[in-house]
Copies of this chain bind each other. A is one copy, B any other.
Amino acid sequence: MRRTRIGIAQINPTVGDLRANTDKILHSMAKAKQRSVDLLTFPELAITGYPPEVLSSKPQFLKQTQESLRQIIEQSWGIAVVVGFVDGPDDSYDAAAVIEDTRLVGVYHKISLANYGELREDRYFRSGSECPIFHIRDIDMSVTIGGDIWLQEEPAMPQAHAKAEVLVNIAATPYHAADGYSTERKLADRAANGTVIVAYNNLVGGQDELVFEGGSLVIDAEGAIVARGKHFEEDLVIAQLGSEALTGHTTPTTSPLPTRLMEKPHRIAGVYEALVLGTKDYVRKNGFNKVVIGLSGGIDSSLVATVAVDALGARNVVGVSMPSRYSSPASKSDAEMLAENLGIKLKVIPIEKAFSSYLEMLADSFMNTEPNAAEENIQARIRGNILFALSNKFGWLVLACSNRSETATGYTTLYGDMAGGFIPLKDVPKTMVYQLATHRNVQAGKEVIPSSVLSREPSAELRPAHKDTDTLPPYELLDPILRAYVEDHLPIDDIVAMGFHREVVTQVAHLVDSSEYKRRQAAPGIRITPGDYCQGRRLPITNRFRE
């Protein structure tokens, strides 16, 4: 292998926007050529966006994808390219085109389709079976997509890899907060065990509930990471493949783009960036400019507003304070202080007028009944109605402020605080909401989220002296129980054995099991764990089983 420059174009395409994605790819190719890149890779399904789901069975979509590929091939003089696309038209494949100097050298079809969490690639794609060696730019290269790189059983695979000098892997790996360095370590082992260079191009961007973090890698044949792409941003990583080894390399071009070991953000910082990118891409890619958020003065809405400002800029975020007869002066002033700290517009719309009209309208029906969740939820739903009225009038997307601890236990009002087009904290437990808020304040070196918000006892303020702990165990107890029951799906007995009171564990389990109906009606939000409740395995709504 002669000295070759490999470029990893870690791009953020939009599902279905074939024109814009192709332009982005062509632009990266031009930039890479300027920097003397010999071989340039793009992420999995870069032309179409990932995951295209049912689009990949539409003939017109496949035809336009082919047309995009044709343009990319046409403009590939002077460079070799590996780019992800959907191959059709009879069967659809999650595919990689290998291109060199205006010639399509070959097409690889993904073998190991991803079918975990929300991913159901087997519904949309046929599986490939061949793994050829491509000889381009004097390199013997094998190309794999996503999990294919781990395949050991497929007969073609280890054989091909044994011959290859470089394993190109193009991927769209959903971000999971708990992953840490495990993907990196596995890829490094893969390189060292095969004495082969690994070039991993991971998608970046948000798509509905998924976030892809980028962090692409070039790993030398001894398993050392020599280059790492940015996290949660587009990037063009360039590395020099030597005759035997591989060295990180600062390109001596006019526009400086050094190959470098970008630092991987620590866990809480990573989650925060995932929330920002996921929110930004959901809003922008769906054609919205502005968002509107109900600011209660509580921690959840304060964090959502902060994430939104970091994603979209202060002028694109509108806060609405909607105090009721039960709102405390402290929470009202905290909402104001937060808006001021963030520099966002704050509308104040007290809900008393609407609330008292409902009570009058329902006076006959509610005669001789005790106040209960009915009166509480009316208030939450008035707020949902106001936010959606503003959304309908001005085209702002509503961000809802529910968190995972609330949706897991059903401690949230359908059409009330759950009302929204997107729920940034949907998969974030309450205790992590506090960590994220603290992280953001520390990062800013000042109080962005007022400290009184962080210290006040959580309350929905829907009745006098209302506290979350009236209904739920304290979050420091609740969250680990939820994790054990929902994520690790442990039996109640095992959770009790971890040191929790049986009564509390049973209460939490019953809350989870009986609130599935609410979660089914929740808006999409950002996933930071591998799947939905029980890793893509579904809890029936109609379900009389109780442990």
Q: Which residues in A have some Cβ–Cβ distance to B below 8 Å?
A: 14-18, 20, 51-55, 57-61, 115, 120, 122-124, 206-208, 281-282, 285-286, 347, 349-351, 353-354, 356-358, 360-362, 365-366, 369, 372-375, 377-378, 381-382, 384-386, 388-390, 392-393, 414-415, 419, 421, 489, 491-493, 517, 520-524, 533-534, 536-547
Contacts and interface: CB of A to CB of B under 8 A. Distances in A.
Contact of A382 (B57, B385, B393): B385
B537 A124 contact: yes
A540 B357 contact: no
Contact of A54 (B14, B282, B389, B534): B534
A517 B120 CA distance: 19
B358 A55 contact: no
Contacts of A356: 357
Given A384-B415, A385-B358, A545 B16 contact: yes
Contact of A208 (B347, B390, B522, B540): B540
Nearest to A356: B357
16 contacts: A15-B542, A52-B545, A53-B540, A54-B534, A55-B539, A55-B545, A123-B536, A123-B537, A282-B542, A354-B358, A377-B388, A381-B381, A381-B384, A381-B415, A382-B385, A388-B415
Nearest to A513: B16
Copies in the complex: 2
Contacts of A354: 354, 357-358, 361
Contacts of A351: 361
Given A357-B353, A523-B521, A414 B388 contact: yes
Contacts of A421: 517
Given A362-B389, A545-B16, A524 B534 contact: no
A357 B359 CA distance: 12
Q: Which of A57, A382, A414 has the most CB of B within 10 A?
A: A414
A526 to B, nearest CB: 12
A55 B543 CA distance: 9
Contacts of A350: 361
A28 to B, nearest CB: 19
A544 B369 contact: no
